[in-house]
């Protein structure tokens, strides 16, 4: 089956509100259905009988259930950890998963700031209630409103070729408004709108599929926050359909896989070191540990919107610079450099 295909999860969820129960009754494993919905199991690897059963439960056709991917073009942000592990898909939806205080609104403000540099129009649809910290984002939005009508008329007034980023709170997705909003927005503009969803309540962390279908999921990590390593995006759990759908020979996929493998192992070893001390590591594990420390440090990055906090100028790193620098770290060229010297820098020259 074609890699560009995906499950129409919004439709499925609308037609079958209690999907887990209905799937169980139809003899399907809830874990399989959940993995299909999140994209963990690509549609090409699903059994035909599973897809037919889902269409039967939803009382829709297979054509309605399986749709073509929205886009495969990435928007470069110049943020190393995002571009390598969880690239933003043009016209797709990005979901941020964090507890309050982990820096998700800082990241959102930074994404808006960077998108503006790329000539995107940044819009924010506010909830009706006060949200703490949202000012960081509002400050970097071209237009901010809590009225859908105002947003629609703003969109109608934009140039036809204007690219759009729209920020929304997860509260709107939960209320079901998001589907109506995105339907209506798509009617007023032909260009792909890239959505960024934040979870200001911080409830999404406890859920497997907190936003339904996403092209990019950015999960924040408490361990990184506790060590003030920002952006505290988890490189092992954040992902994007661009990576999942990438050709396995592509440099992006290969470097990303090598980096992720090293960081996973490093995290396991870190646990041993914290619990029982570094002397418990074998020589080869010690090498992995030291290299992992350096790679992890390199994924910290000065943000433009956090210059007053880090006292460093924001850094934009091109994909090629990110690939080159990471490959060199992975190959051991920086094994002798102090970890602190790799923190909050741009690329390696």
Ligand X SMILES: Nc1ncnc2c1ncn2[C@@H]1O[C@H](COP(=O)(O)OP(=O)(O)OP(=O)(O)O)[C@@H](O)[C@H]1O
321 Cβ neighbours under 8 A, 6+ residues apart? 346, 347
Least distance (Å) between residue 260 CB and ligand X: 21
> What is the spatial distance between Cα 195 and Cα 92, in angstroms, rounded to a whole number?
6
Q: Tell whether residue 278 is a contact of ligand X (CB under 6 A).
A: no
| Residue position matching structure tokens 């620098």 | 325
Least distance between ligand X and beta carbon 202 (Å): 7
Question: Residues 78, 87, 231, 314: which binds ligand X (CB under 6 A)?
Answer: 231
Map the footprint of ligand X across residues 284-343, applying CB under 6 A: 303, 306, 309-310
Two tokens, residue 324: 């080159």
Minimum Å distance from CB 231 to ligand X?
5
Q: How far is the CB of 172 from ligand X (least distance, A)?
A: 16
- Total binding residues toward ligand X, as defined by CB under 6 A: 17
Shortest reach from residue 235's CB to ligand X, in Å: 15
Q: Which of residues 172-201 bind ligand X (CB under 6 A)?
A: 200
| Contact criterion met (CB below 8 Å) for 6 and 67 | yes
- The Cα–Cα gap between 238 and 86 comes to 6
According to DSSP, residue 142 is labeled S
In the shown chain, the binding pattern of residues 133 to 162 toward ligand X, with x for contact by CB under 6 A and - for none, equals x-----------------------------
Handedness of CA 5, 8, 12, 13 (dihedral sign): positive
Question: Which residue lies nearer to ligand X by CB, 58 or 137?
Answer: 137
Segment interacting with ligand X, rule: CB under 6 A, options 78-86, 98-106, 239-247, 327-335: 98-106
User: CA 252 to CA 326: how far, in whole Å?
Assistant: 11
| Ordered DSSP codes for 150-212 | HHHHHHHHS-TT--EEEEEEHHHHHTTHHHHHHHHHHHH--SPEEEEEE-TT--GGG-SSTTS
- Verify binding: residue 103, ligand X, rule CB under 6 A: yes
Q: Is 230 in the site for ligand X (CB under 6 A)?
A: yes
Q: Quick check: bond before 231 cis, omega within 30? A: yes
Query: Which span sits near ligand X by CB under 6 A: 56-64, 102-110, 180-188, 206-214?
Result: 102-110
Cα-flanking dihedrals φ and ψ of residue 169, to 5°?
Answer: -90, 145
DSSP 220: B
Q: Quote the least distance from Cβ 157 to ligand X, whole Å.
A: 30
**Which CB sits closer to ligand X, 200 or 239?**
200
Interface positions with ligand X (CB under 6 A) = 98, 100-106, 132-133, 200, 230-231, 303, 306, 309-310
């Amino acid at each position: 089956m074609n890699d560009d295909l995906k499950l129409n999860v919004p439709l499925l969820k609308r037609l079958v509100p209690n999907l887990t129960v209905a799937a169980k009754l139809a003899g399907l494993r809830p874990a399989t259905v959940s993995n299909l919905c999140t994209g963990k199991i690509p549609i090409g690897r699903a059994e035909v009988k599973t897809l037919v059963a889902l269409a039967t439960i939803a009382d829709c056709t297979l054509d309605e259930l399986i749709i073509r991917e929205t886009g495969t073009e990435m928007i470069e942000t110049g943020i190393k950890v995002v571009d390598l592990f969880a690239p933003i898909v043009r016209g797709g939806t990005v979901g941020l998963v964090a507890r309050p205080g982990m820096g998700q609104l800082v990241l959102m403000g930074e994404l808006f700031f960077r998108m503006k540099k790329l000539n995107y129009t940044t819009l924010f649809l506010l909830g009706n209630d006060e949200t703490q910290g949202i000012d960081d984002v509002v400050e970097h939005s071209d237009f901010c409103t809590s009225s859908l009508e105002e947003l629609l008329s703003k969109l109608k007034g934009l140039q036809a070729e204007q690219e759009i980023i729209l920020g929304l709170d997860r509260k709107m997705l939960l209320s079901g408004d998001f589907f109506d909003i995105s339907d209506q927005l798509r009617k007023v503009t032909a260009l792909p709108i890239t959505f960024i969803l934040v979870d200001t309540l911080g409830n999404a962390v406890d859920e497997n599929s907190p936003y339904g279908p996403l092209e990019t999921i950015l999960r924040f990590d408490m361990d990184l926050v506790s060590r003030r390593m920002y952006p505290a995006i988890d490189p092992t759990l954040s992902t994007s359909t661009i990576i999942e759908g990438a050709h396995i020979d592509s440099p992006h996929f290969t470097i990303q896989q090598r980096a992720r493998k090293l960081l996973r192992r490093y995290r396991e070893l870190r646990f041993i070191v914290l619990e029982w001390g570094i002397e418990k590591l074998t020589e080869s594990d010690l090498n992995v540990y030291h290299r992992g420390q350096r790679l992890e440090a390199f994924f910290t990055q000065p943000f433009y919107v956090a210059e007053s906090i880090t006292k460093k100028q924001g850094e934009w790193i091109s994909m090629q610079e990110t690939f080159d620098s990471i490959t060199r770290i992975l190959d051991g060229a920086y094994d002798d450099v102090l970890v602190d010297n790799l923190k909050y820098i741009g690329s390696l020259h």
